[in-house]
Structure 1
Amino acid sequence: MVGKKSGKALRDEGLERTDNNMALTSWPQVPAINQKNYYTDYLKRDDQLLAWRLQNEEARTKMTKKAKDHDRALAMPKVDTTEGDADADADATMEDAEETPAEMAGSKVIVIHMGSQNLRIGLASDALPKTVPMVIARKSATNESEEHKEPKPKRFKNDDGSELEPEKAFGPEWSSHFNRMSADLKVHMRQNKRRMLPNSKEMVVNYNRRTAPEIISEHNDPMRAEWTELSSPPPEYIVGQPALRVPDSSKPRYKLYWPIRNGWCNEKDYTSKMLLFLDISLIVEDAIKNQLHLTSKKDWTQYSCVFVIPDLYDKTYVSHVLEMLMREFSFARVCFMQESLAATYGAGFTSACVVDIGAQKTSICCVEEGMCVENSRVNLKFGGQDVTETFIKMMLHDHFPYADINLRRRHDFLLAEELKKSICTMNEASVSPQVFDFHLRVAGQDTRKYTFKAFDEVILAPLSVFEPSIFDNSEKIKGRRTLIERSVDIYDGLSNDPTSTAQSEILTAIAPPLPSQAKANAESLVATGGQATPSRSQHPNALSKVQDLDGTPRSSVTGSPVPENTGTPQAGGTTASAAVAAATQAPRPLPVEERDDIMPIFGLDNAILTSIAHAARSDEKKMRDFIGGIMVVGGGSLTSGLHLYLEERLQSLRPNYAKEIMIGTPPRDLDPQVVVWKGASIFGKLSSTNDSWIGRVEYDRLGSRLLAYKCMWAY
């Protein structure tokens, strides 16, 4: 055995240790984990959740404060008082105790429901909200009617620039669609034993051609409009109802901006995302100060906010709104709620199929036991304003005496909305040539009184929601995704915006085919001479799936919407050209990137059945519950006779459920326009200790990532 060498020998051999016995690195050495006995309790206890810890911390803080106040009250020296003073103090204490609960019942919660045309805002303790137009007027070189040379609705002209006859002003395709709807209405009314004069249309046209307006001087007009007077110097912007009352000929000019269009952020009229959300914040801030009378921003830190969002929302939009409410408005807490769920809260229903017809958007969603059924969500881009524009086009087609009407002008827009509300109906008993009148009030001009006749236009315009291809859908998706990018997953880079199988099926049914698929279908039909009649529909849309649930025959398709860009088959049979056009409309599956390029336009009755079919998922009981609990809300539902007509349409499409189909209205005579806001206010009155509230401390730590944990649904 070799002995230990001395230090001298090691030094001679060059092996002597010369360091200071320190380790080679100061980095701590982590021992390997014993994988057999490995265990962790990460996120397995309630006290490891941030929301749970913050609630307990808040409860402990309140308990500590109460104990300190109690000890401080005991330590205060007792003051001798007379018996009367003691009774007065006791009465004051009881009054304070009675006022405290009343102040806590939603008086510190602001409820906001933002729509395309109106903003509804109020405290949760209010019975009804304040309604403010969702518009802002900014200084500009030209107003909106001067900037767009073409009037709205758009009229075609001759090659030399002269005006066309009213019957030809909107193109032959639109005129044929209008005439077909008029003919179908006559057949329908004749089947219902309702008498109609054979020359009613000619009577209306002849009357409107020869009528002339009556001039009324301004001092003789008791209902003259109040226009917004500009201060000196004129303000940079005007918000809400005063913005709509700024004269078109004002000096300086003002241009109207609508930040929300068709339920989306208005990316067509804005050039900057920052300016878009700035206008939204200015409109909301002005409403809080002037409608709720909370003029000091310092007091806003004591208030919470319930914000209503669409059922099918954009995550980027929700994140920006959360940042606005937390950073700019400094609310103490914020909670998001979906529109359909809020509608069931407002109506007091536990399960329902909610149909919300707004100004520019119609949303359909089935709610079951306090949760929106994800796959039943449908979002259609038409509403009450489309009905207004179509009504004006129909009246102009029949020689409306005020032929110069332009919905881009503010007074004409307000006039058209007033005419639609007062004239349009869906009661067949009201369809007859009738005389109406209106007053045209323009700033700086004498009032003109017009008299006109209307016939079937009053019912065909609201009926357009069942045949939305008659609407002008050319600019509804213009500018989409130019300012606000699509939300994507941070791991795979794919879009994570909410989707629904019902919406996807509708988009697939109306999507244009691939060029190769369209060519193959056309060649096959041309080879057969276009004579073959398929046993099944060439348009596998949502209705076909609904009918497959119980084997309902496809013969009952009365009133189904006609696909755009297709010829109407003649009664004698299907021509080769019509068959080729039908084949080119075959649907195909859509990738996520193409869905934004397709305008979701679909008949209201078929869309409702699509939503219910995806919510029931072949469950007979659920199908009967949803189809018997359809609730129609929104401003577009105020048309007289809509509920009965919708019931009739659904019964013709689903004869097996004719007895179960029922269209409900909000209970207690509640205005359908405020049902969603009312439901959100009811939620705001509930205990604020639930997990859906986002506090300032949480937001400062995690930001918008909290939405995945705080929303009442799968965000």
Structure 2
Amino acid sequence: MPPKGSKMKPSMAPNSAADPSRELPLAYTTFTVPPPLNAKNIASTYLRTDSQTWVARLQAQQQAQGPLNRGKKRRKAPMGPAASTAEGTPVDAQGSEDEDEEATGPPSSTTIVIHPCSTHLRIGLSSDIYPLTMPQMVARRPKEGVHGSEIAQESEEDEDAIMKDASSASPSGPSRTGSPFSDLSTKIEVLRSDLKNIMRNLKLRPVTNAKQQASNYNASVKPEVVPEHNDVFAVEWINSKAKDMGDVVVGEKARRMDCFSQEMPSSSSTGDQDERRWKLFQPMRSGRLDTDSYIEAYGPSAAKQALLNDLKTIWTHAIATPREDPDARHEPGKIVEHGLGIPSRDWSLYNVILVIPDLYSMSDVEDLTRLLLDEMGFAAILLQQEGVCATFGAGISSGCVIHIGSDRTSVTCVDEGLVVSESRLSLHYSGADISKFFVELLQRANLPYKGLQMEKLLADAWLADELKERLCTLDPMQLGLVINDVHVRLPSQPTRKYALRTYDEIILAPMCLFSPRVIDFDKKRPKAGQRTVNYQAPAASDPVADEDDGTEERGVPVTTAMNLCIRHLLPAVPTPAPVAMTPDASKGAATSSKQGTPAASPMPNSGESNGQATATLKADEAATAQPSRAGSPSANDGPSTPAVLAGDGDVGSERQSPNPASKDTPTKAAQQQQHLPASFSIDAAWEAGKVPLDFAVWHSILGSISNMTSTGTAEERVKRLTANIICTGGTGLLPGLGMALEARMGAYVTQWYTLQLGKDAANAPNATVIPPPRDMDPRVLAWKGMSVLARLESAQEMWVPRHEWSVFGTRAIREKSLFL
């Protein structure tokens, strides 16, 4: 105890423990952190400008002695046996021209432009007038003792078992002609009814009983055998059992192998157990690297590397094969392969321009860049989207690009040389679906060639595409009973000629672009993308982040245009329940009604103004004035659209489409998003690909103005895009496609102009489909535009050299590309 008289100091409570967030794993020190240096007092220029960075130093060194400006050594690079450009001028005589090109970018004579499509590869030097087109496919025969053939055989057995189970589960079994839907006949009759209405509005008289006349004539047709010396377009088939055949065949030879165009007997029936069957691969489908077919053949672990190896084999064959000799003469039907004539030892002296789809996958871009720079050894690469290339090829800077290829259809809007990311849209039907539907219509009209199997025999698929290109049209003026010749060429068989009489089948087949309900989308769904994703409301977001966040397994981002296209699949906004009124409130309401003053009713807070409510009422009245004859749209049918082929916008408009342009569009989308049930999910990218073509084009244009707040700016962009519609791809050659699109798009633009802007419909802008300049083939429009874009001075900064790719990787592509 303390002595008496001493005072005790009051004890203080111990300090509380420090917050865990304030605890730092640093010991106390007396070192003083120096303050930042004042740049005004420093005489050095180190890192004060962009030119002092390491990347800029590498670019300066590259311009002096790097791959982009090669100097005299580069201009002496071999260009193949001809050692000349496409114009026939020797390389030495173009020295001055090459020196001028060095000031703005790589010389065009050492720049290769590659446009890989699903079925064909378009490749050529930037100085060439037209690209080299070859089938992008490869045929492989499994090696002896390799388990790859066993994997392929097991996958085929599993697929047969699945198909057998599906057919047994179906109550009716598979149909005779493989119709996509059981009610296909009803949907065909709807198309015929629409066609009759169109002809009635255009003052065209149909032929009486024409359908029965064509069917009876085709049923009585007998084949005529054409001698080999009289067949001008005879096909030279490749014998797959020849002894000099290797294990890999590329390009046109792979497509003409007899084993893919005839039914091969099984090895058990022939007694040949050592026979190795060939397998045909297409590395790209629908603008993506097709890994599904390689997984079936090689397994999940080796599928991606096998695909890239096949792609490297095809591109190597196209680049290294000698050029065509203009003085040589070839027999028709013979296979004569041509290439660019650039040996692999000189690839380090060449640059590559790669055209990628507008709706691309970042993983595919990385794989293709790694293939060209690391494995094939090119000096530099430049990436550009297909829509921008098409607008440059057409000579415009803004427009709506519609690409209708063999197995993919894409819609995108390009404004001032840049793709509007929220306007990108991919549709799940293409020219191949037109061919299948055309064959279905011909078979219903007693097609004389009874053994047509376009899904099994490659020669029959060629025949279907040939008939589509020769006969199909969207011009109602071409309707009539016409007799055409059909030549059937199969391996080990003489050519047979049939007479075919057609009527409305030539117009009904391409009408599936505007009425895709006749297409079976369930068979087209990719195996790797079966998982659905939750619906996402339209919102501005970073396109790069969208493609890397793994929203979908297929790597396709969900854009605003996709969300606008699937509004008809979302559940309706529930009507608010009436609010129970108290006796006092009811008495007040009765008093106010007696006095002539309207009582305040409980209305939901929708955020709409009076003008918006009026526009909504007008839109609802317009939508309910003419009810749809085909019923409400389903997931397979998509929204119904006006049946217009040509003429005014009100032709055949009994199937009125839902109004996509009213002022309450964002409000309804937000209300639908708020009232979605917890278990509701939808794959937006997949469901948006089922809508009609005109519906998709219009919503792509609406998606391009989704982030605009100024009405005047949005109106100007809509005018620019609708006045510059470009159709590319093989189906872009379809006669009457431009008239059909202009008529349908005119109806959408007029509706938007009156309801959204409140202006007179007579002053609404016209939708115009621009034909390719100078009658250029729309299939090579993107390649031609890329060859022009590569010569611009602004493209100098978009090149990614090989050494930058090796150091920075994907970051180098992001910093050099304008669309990433």
Tell me which amino acid in the other structure corresponds to 2:566.
T
- Please give the secondary structure, in 2, of the residue aligned with 1:110: strand
Q: Deviations over 1:409-443 (max 9, x none)?
A: 01101111111100101110111121112111111
- Please give the secondary structure, in 2, of the residue aligned with 1:435: strand
| Corresponding residue of 1:178 | 188
Tell me which amino acid in the other structure corresponds to 1:273.
K
Q: Deviations over 1:175-223 (max 9, x none)?
A: 1111110111112111211010231111122222222222334455343
Q: Does 1:315 pair with 2:362?
A: yes
8 Å CA contact retained: 1:136, 1:240: yes
| Corresponding residue of 1:129 | 131
Of the structure 1 ranges 642-651 and 317-326, higher mean CA displacement relative to structure 2 is found in 642-651
Q: Does 1:609 pair with 2:698?
A: yes
**Which whole-Å CA distance do the structure 2 matches of 1:295 and 1:482 have between them?**
43
8 Å CA contact retained: 1:506, 1:600: no
**Which whole-Å CA distance do the structure 2 matches of 1:36 and 1:58 have between them?**
34
Superposition pairs of residues 148-167 of structure 1, within 5 angstroms: none
| Corresponding residue of 2:411 | 364
8 Å CA contact retained: 1:305, 1:331: yes
CA 1:67–1:175 in structure 2 vs 1: closer, same or farther (change >3 Å)? closer
CA 1:432–1:127 in structure 2 vs 1: closer, same or farther (change >3 Å)? same
Q: Deviations over 1:10-38 (max 9, x none)?
A: xxxxxxxxxxxxxxxxx998945357879
Q: Does 1:57 pair with 2:152?
A: no
| Corresponding residue of 1:86 | none
**Which whole-Å CA distance do the structure 1 matches of 2:70 and 2:731 have between them?**
51
Q: Does 1:336 pair with 2:373?
A: no
Q: 1:349 aligns with which of 392, 396, 401?
A: 396
8 Å CA contact retained: 2:568, 2:633: no
**Which whole-Å CA distance do the structure 1 matches of 2:318 and 2:680 have between them?**
41
CA 1:157–1:218 in structure 2 vs 1: closer, same or farther (change >3 Å)? farther
Tell me which amino acid in the other structure corresponds to 1:208.
N
**Which whole-Å CA distance do the structure 1 matches of 2:347 and 2:568 have between them?**
47
Q: 1:266 aligns with which of 290, 293, 304?
A: 290
Q: Does 1:696 pair with 2:802?
A: yes
- Please give the secondary structure, in 1, of the residue aligned with 2:562: helix
| Corresponding residue of 1:284 | 315
Length-normalised TM-score, structure 1: 0.75
Give, in angstroms, the shift of residue 509 of structure 1.
Answer: 3.3
| Corresponding residue of 1:12 | none
RMSD after superposition? 4.6
8 Å CA contact retained: 2:547, 2:557: no
Give, in angstroms, the shift of residue 700 of structure 1.
Answer: 1.4
Q: 1:384 aligns with which of 421, 425, 431?
A: 431
Superposition pairs of residues 535-550 of structure 1, within 5 angstroms: none
8 Å CA contact retained: 2:218, 2:500: yes
CA 1:691–1:566 in structure 2 vs 1: closer, same or farther (change >3 Å)? closer
Q: 2:119 aligns with which of 98, 117, 120?
A: 117
Give, in angstroms, the shift of residue 621 of structure 1.
Answer: 1.5
**Which whole-Å CA distance do the structure 2 matches of 1:364 and 1:315 have between them?**
19
CA 1:615–1:164 in structure 2 vs 1: closer, same or farther (change >3 Å)? closer
Q: 1:632 aligns with which of 727, 741, 751?
A: 727
- Please give the secondary structure, in 1, of the residue aligned with 2:527: coil
8 Å CA contact retained: 2:472, 2:506: yes
Q: 2:634 aligns with which of 556, 563, 574?
A: 563
| Corresponding residue of 2:736 | 641
Q: Deviations over 1:550-595 (max 9, x none)?
A: 97944689999943467999xxx99xxxxxxxxxxx9868999944
8 Å CA contact retained: 1:488, 1:494: no
Tell me which amino acid in the other structure corresponds to 2:317.
D
Q: Does 1:211 pair with 2:221?
A: yes
8 Å CA contact retained: 1:378, 1:502: no
Q: How many residues of Structure 1 are paired with residues of Structure 2 in the alignment?
A: 617
Q: Deviations over 1:498-530 (max 9, x none)?
A: 74633331563365x6xxx69x989x9xxxxxx
- Please give the secondary structure, in 1, of the residue aligned with 2:523: coil
8 Å CA contact retained: 1:262, 1:382: no
Q: Does 1:426 pair with 2:437?
A: no
**Which whole-Å CA distance do the structure 2 matches of 1:361 and 1:56 have between them?**
42
CA 1:44–1:433 in structure 2 vs 1: closer, same or farther (change >3 Å)? farther
CA 1:49–1:200 in structure 2 vs 1: closer, same or farther (change >3 Å)? farther
Tell me which amino acid in the other structure corresponds to 1:309.
I
- Please give the secondary structure, in 2, of the residue aligned with 1:392: helix
Q: Deviations over 1:63-108 (max 9, x none)?
A: xx99999xxxxxxxxxxxxxxxxxxxxxx99957447448964110
**Which whole-Å CA distance do the structure 1 matches of 2:501 and 2:169 have between them?**
28
| Corresponding residue of 2:344 | 297
Tell me which amino acid in the other structure corresponds to 1:305.
V
| Corresponding residue of 1:194 | 204
Q: Which runs of 5+ in 2 are unaligned?
A: 1-26, 74-89, 143-148, 265-274, 296-302, 322-337, 532-542, 578-611, 641-653, 656-670, 751-760
**Which whole-Å CA distance do the structure 1 matches of 2:304 and 2:343 have between them?**
27
| Corresponding residue of 1:245 | 256
**Which whole-Å CA distance do the structure 1 matches of 2:46 and 2:547 have between them?**
22
8 Å CA contact retained: 1:379, 1:503: no
**Which whole-Å CA distance do the structure 1 matches of 2:400 and 2:547 have between them?**
35
Tell me which amino acid in the other structure corresponds to 2:33.
I
| Corresponding residue of 1:681 | 787
Tell me which amino acid in the other structure corresponds to 1:663.
V
Of the structure 1 ranges 276-285 and 383-392, higher mean CA displacement relative to structure 2 is found in 276-285
CA 1:439–1:567 in structure 2 vs 1: closer, same or farther (change >3 Å)? closer
CA 1:244–1:490 in structure 2 vs 1: closer, same or farther (change >3 Å)? closer
Give, in angstroms, the shift of residue 476 of structure 1.
Answer: 2.3
CA 1:607–1:67 in structure 2 vs 1: closer, same or farther (change >3 Å)? closer
| Corresponding residue of 1:374 | 421
**Which whole-Å CA distance do the structure 2 matches of 1:34 and 1:295 have between them?**
59
| Corresponding residue of 1:509 | 567
Tell me which amino acid in the other structure corresponds to 1:223.
F
Identity %: 29
Tell me which amino acid in the other structure corresponds to 2:477.
A
Give, in angstroms, the shift of residue 494 of structure 1.
Answer: 5.3
Q: Which runs of 5+ in 1 are unaligned?
A: 1-26, 70-91, 525-543, 575-585
Tell me which amino acid in the other structure corresponds to 2:58.
L
Q: Does 1:107 pair with 2:109?
A: yes
Superposition pairs of residues 479-558 of structure 1, within 5 angstroms: 479-480=527-528, 495=551, 499=557, 501-506=559-564, 508-509=566-567, 553-554=622-623
Tell me which amino acid in the other structure corresponds to 2:249.
I
Length-normalised TM-score, structure 2: 0.66
CA 1:119–1:29 in structure 2 vs 1: closer, same or farther (change >3 Å)? farther
